[in-house]
Structure formats: structure tokens, C-alpha cells
Amino acid sequence: MSHTPNTSTPAPAGNVQSTSQAAVKPSLAGVRVRQRKGQAKATAKFEPETFRDALLLHLSLIPSPPTVDSAVAKLVQAGATLELLKYSEQLFELLFVGGLLQPGGSYLDDKRSPIYVLQDAAEGWDPVRGMVETLKLVMQRYKYLQKPLEENFLPDILGYLSKWDDVSKDKLAQAVALLVLDVQVSSRCLASLTKDHVVKDNVGLFFFTSFAKAYLSKQSVEHLGATLRRSGLRDIALLFPIQIRDKKHIEDHFKQAGLPQVVEWYGKMALAETKDETISSIERMLGDEETNEQIIEQLNAQQAEKPVPASDLTDWIWQGLVRTVDFSAKAEQAEQFLVQLITTRAPIIEAFVKGAKAEVGLINAVQVYCYADTRMLKAFPQIIKVLYNTDCISDQAIIYWHQKGAKPQGKQHFLKVTEALVKFLEEQDSDEE
């Protein structure tokens, strides 16, 4: 077999590497590499006016007078081609105030939507109710719109209230109330009403009053109260300018506005808040071993600032006292501690238990407390004796309580264990006569 010599010369290793590096990937002529959709959106220009013009083209096809169905149909159609989420702020500006806004709340130009909340009513079309119903149906279709509405747009637009006249503020307030009630939009936007420039000149107060009227036309004041607690609006007093931020001005305003239920509700809320503060304050002062005189002085200062009925204050003092009882001890020890505590701290009670109503209320507070904690059942007559001997309650108060003033909780038991005391007091009264 003949051998043919290999005459080819092997290429240097370096040349192989450079050839592979220089290799070009094959491509088809005339084919363009497309950007991913998400990347295209991220790098796209932000053009609110272009979006506005495109949306107005859709809305211009709504017949006159508009209907909820026709408005929803055009907005859903627009959502198929326009980026509603990216331009949600501009979308809501058009649907609420009719045009694009500049920073500060002024209109950008004179282009207006054919349908929006603040427009004048037309025959067969209520812009407030119509737009709320439209928004409800559109957001059922595009659920991602609710979050920017309640977290961004509504809090911001309420910061611009001073830009609108009273008629516009009233319409906006009605719309927000209906959105909260019917569309389950968060009420957190109401916290914007306490900003200084909104509180100024009663702007926020005017809005809230209109909001409350619209809300209470469909729901109870208790339901409104629950909504306000969730809103972050801690106290409606914050809606009033600081120079008139007091109970009298609050009551006068809502009575004149025809909202007496708000006055009653606010009174209860304010009383409950004062109650919690008072009970906690008494518990803290007792824990710090402050003297009776120091505690009385502080309670007098509180009464001067936030006066409450003597019967309420007496009940709160009692609740503050019993909070310091050590219930980890045996029943007999806890009972002895309570009796000793009342004996030592009786001057605090005596300083504020003014009038027969407060005295009977104090006995009932003791009754309810002993009924709720059965370990203190036996202590009831002894506690009443201590309160009588320290001039916290009178014989007439005890007799009245025994005859017709006792609470229903364990009534027969407490009447029975105090029979001897009541008989003694009645005989004493007869001897004096």
C-alpha cells in the first residue's frame, strides 16, 4: 500500500481561537429583532397629552345625553388599546374634573371630557351618580385601576379642594361617599382633609359635611363612624381651624348643617376617649404611688379642660382603682388588698362623687365589678361599709339603691347580703327623726 505524505501544514493554535471569536451568527436578511412588549412599555415616552387626546376620541362617540352603558362601553373599548394603568392619574382627572391638571390643581388647558363628575347635570344624566356607576363597572373590568384611585388620585385631589367652588366640592364629596359605599373604595383619602391648607377657611370641613350628608342618606351614623376609624381621620375636630377646635363649635356646626346624629355620635366618641384616658391615668398614678392630693389635683385639671358628669367620673375612678388589684394572689388576699386600697384612696372618690346620682352610680359600679369577678362577691358588703364610713356614699343613697336602684346583675344576692346594713341605716334615720 502506497503512503501519500500529508503536505498540509497545521494552523497555529492562536489562529484557531481568533477564527472562532470572529465567527458571526447566521441571520436572515430583512428580519428585524423585535423588542419584548414589557421592555417596549418601560422605555416608551410618558405622554399624558397624547393619552388624553386618544381617550377623548373614544369618549366623543358617547351619545348625548350619555348613559352608563354607553360610557362604560367606550371606556372598555379604550382600555383595549390605551395603557390605562400607566396613565391612571390622567384617566381619573378626565373622569372626575374633566381635564388634565397641572401641579397645584389648575387646569392644564381648556380641553374637556364629555362626561365627568364635576360637569353640570343634563336632562336624564346625573354626573355624580352616573360617573360613580360607570367607574364601578369599568373597575370590575379593569381591577388594577382601584388601587391607584384610592391610594394616589383621591388623596391628591382632596389636597386641591381650595381650587374648586362650593358646588364642585359638594359634587366631589358626594362622589367619594358613593365610591366608599357602593364601590368599596378605601376611605383613607379623608385623612387629606386635615392638611393645614385644606383646613384653612373651613374648606375640609365643608367637604366633610357634604360627604357625611351623602353617606348618612344611605347608612347609619355608626356605620359612618366605623368608616372614619378606618380612614385615618382620628378626630373630626381636626377639620376645624385651631381657633375654633372645641366641643361647642363642633356641635353648633353639625346642628346647623342638619346633622344632629353626628353631634350625638361625636359626643359618645369623645366621652369614650376621655374615659380611657382617665382610667389609664389613674392606674398609672396609683402605680407611681402618687398622693391622693396629687391625683385629685390632676383630675381637677382634666375636669377643667374636658368636663364630664360626676357620675361618669366616679365610675372611671373606681375602674382605675380596681385595675391595680393583684389577681394572682389568693382570693382572700385580693379581697383584703381591695378593701385596704379603697380605705386608703377613699379621699379621691369622695372629692368627685357629688350628688345622689353619682353615689348610686358608684354602688352600682361596685355591684357590677363584684358580680363580674366572683372572688369579690363576699367583699361587697364590706366595700359598701368602707365607702359609707369614708363619706363617699350617704345612707340615703344606699337605701335608694336597695329599694329600686340596683342593677340586674346578681341583684337578689346583693340585696340579700346588704339587708342588715340597710335595716341599720333605716333605724338610724328613724331615731334621728
Q: Which residue has the higher pLDDT, 11 or 298?
A: 298
Going by pLDDT thresholds of 50, 70 and 90, the confidence category of residue 1 is very low
Q: Which residue has the higher pLDDT, 18 or 184?
A: 184
C-alpha cell at 375: 372572688
Q: Please report the pLDDT score of residue 153 as a whole number.
A: 97
Q: Please report the pLDDT score of residue 234 as a whole number.
A: 82
In terms of Cα–Cα distance, which of 150, 159, 207 is closest to 180? 150
What residue segments make up the domains of the chain, in order of their start?
47-141, 297-432
Task: Count Cβ atoms below 10 Å from residue 140 Cβ, excluding itself.
Answer: 12
In terms of Cα–Cα distance, which of 385, 374, 384 is closest to 334? 374
Q: Please report the pLDDT score of residue 215 as a whole number.
A: 98
Say yes or no to pLDDT of 25 above 60: no
C-alpha cell at 180: 366608599
Say yes or no to pLDDT of 177 above 90: yes
Task: Count Cβ atoms below 10 Å from residue 365 Cβ, excluding itself.
Answer: 19
Give the whole-angstrom CA distance, residue 367 versus residue 391. Answer: 18
Preceding peptide of 65 cis, ω within 30°: yes
The DSSP 8-state label assigned to residue 32 in this structure reads: P
Residue whose grid cell is 352600682:
364
Q: Please report the pLDDT score of residue 306 as a whole number.
A: 85
Range with the lowest mean pLDDT among 35-39, 80-84, 179-183? 35-39
Average pLDDT for 209-235:
95
Give the whole-angstrom CA distance, residue 135 versus residue 260. Answer: 32
Average pLDDT for 416-432:
86
Q: Please report the pLDDT score of residue 44 as a whole number.
A: 65
| Mean pLDDT rounded to a whole number for the chain | 89
Say yes or no to pLDDT of 18 above 60: no
In terms of Cα–Cα distance, which of 182, 156, 161, 185 is closest to 173? 161
Average pLDDT for 84-89:
96
Average pLDDT for 123-136:
96
Give the whole-angstrom CA distance, residue 339 versus residue 333. Answer: 10
Say yes or no to pLDDT of 4 above 50: no
Q: Please report the pLDDT score of residue 41 as a whole number.
A: 56
Q: Please report the pLDDT score of residue 12 as a whole number.
A: 47
SS (H, E, C) 276-328: HHHHHHHHHHHHCCCCHHHHHHHHHHHHHHCCCCHHHHHHHHHHHHHCCCCCC
C-alpha cell at 377: 362577691
Q: Please report the pLDDT score of residue 122 as a whole number.
A: 87
Average pLDDT for 400-421:
94
Say yes or no to pLDDT of 130 above 70: yes
Average pLDDT for 330-353:
89
Average pLDDT for 213-241:
95
Q: Please report the pLDDT score of residue 305 as a whole number.
A: 86
CB 350 within 8 A of CB 390: yes
- Label residue 384 exposed, middle or buried (CB < 10 Å: 0-12, 13-18, 19+): buried
CA distances from 375 to 2, 56, 335, 342, 414 (A): 120, 74, 8, 17, 14
CATH topology assigned to domain 297-432: 1.25.40
The total number of residues shown for the chain amounts to: 433
Average pLDDT for 187-213:
96
Query: What DSSP string describes 223-259?
Result: HHHHHHHHHT---GGGGS-GGG-SHHHHHHHHHHTT-
Q: Please report the pLDDT score of residue 37 as a whole number.
A: 54
257-307 pLDDT, tens digit per residue, is: 999 999 999 999 989 999 999 999 999 999 999 999 999 999 999 999 888
Helices H / strands E in the chain, number of each: 22, 0
Going by pLDDT thresholds of 50, 70 and 90, the confidence category of residue 55 is very high
Give the whole-angstrom CA distance, residue 420 versus residue 85. Answer: 78
Range with the lowest mean pLDDT among 14-28, 70-84, 240-254? 14-28
Average pLDDT for 330-356:
89
Going by pLDDT thresholds of 50, 70 and 90, the confidence category of residue 24 is low
In terms of Cα–Cα distance, which of 189, 134, 131 is closest to 156? 189
Average pLDDT for 140-151:
96
Q: Percent of the chain scored above 90 by pLDDT?
A: 77
| Helix residue ranges, H only, 152-219 | 154-158, 166-182, 196-199, 203-216
366's CB contacts (< 8 A; 6+ apart) are 318, 380, 383, 384, 387
Going by pLDDT thresholds of 50, 70 and 90, the confidence category of residue 43 is low
Going by pLDDT thresholds of 50, 70 and 90, the confidence category of residue 432 is low
C-alpha cell at 240: 376645624
Average pLDDT for 356-373:
94
